[in-house]
Structure 1
Amino acid sequence: MTLSYEFVMARADQATREASEADLGNVRERALRSAAAWQAMADRIVKLAKDREEAQRAREPAE
């Protein structure tokens, strides 16, 4: 299953909102860890797309 950037960022935003609304410290910390994990996934998606584009350009013959 491939996760889209939009889906992953939506989850990161949701976790950030949950953290800001949390009354309990441990719930807030859990939500912040979740947001950080989702953000890391989004960053990897962007990097992977960039790396694929660069690899594709490298494979194309020079004109």
Structure 2
Amino acid sequence: MTEAETFRARADAAGAEAAASDLANVRDRLLRSQAAWAAMATRSERVAKERARNEAEKAQAAQDSAPAES
């Protein structure tokens, strides 16, 4: 399970708990928690994509600078 998937699961759990809560203050806290977990998942996905793109660029640069085989 990726970090983003873990964060999404935590957001889903917080949302389910909020829906089941009878207390307004608890529901509000859980909804804030859900939003925070969802934001962390989004950030984690963005960082993973950026990291993959950077690694691909580095690999391409290394391939381009390697001496050609004869």
Residue in 2 that maps onto 1:58 = 57
TM-score (norm 2): 0.76
Partner Cα separation in structure 1 for residue 42 and residue 17 of structure 2: 21
Q: Report the residue type matching 2:45 in the other structure.
A: V
Structure 2 residue runs without a partner (length 5+): 65-70
- 1:45 CA drift (Å): 0.9
Deviation at residue 60 of structure 1 after TM alignment: 2.2
In structure 1, C-alpha distance between the alignment counterparts of 2:53 and 2:6, rounded to whole Å: 24
What RMSD, in angstroms, separates the aligned Cα atoms of the two structures? 1.7
Equivalent residue runs for 1:39-50 within 5 Å: 39-50=38-49
Aligned partners of 1:18, 1:59: CA distance in 2, in Å?
Answer: 44
Equivalent pairs: percent with the same residue? 44
Rounded to whole Å, the distance in 2 between the matches of 1:50 and 1:4 is 13
Query: Amino acid of the residue matched to residue 44 of structure 1?
Result: R
- Whose Rg is larger? 2
Q: Which residue of 2 aligns with 1:17?
A: 16
Q: Unmatched 5+ residue regions in structure 1?
A: none
The number of aligned residues is: 61
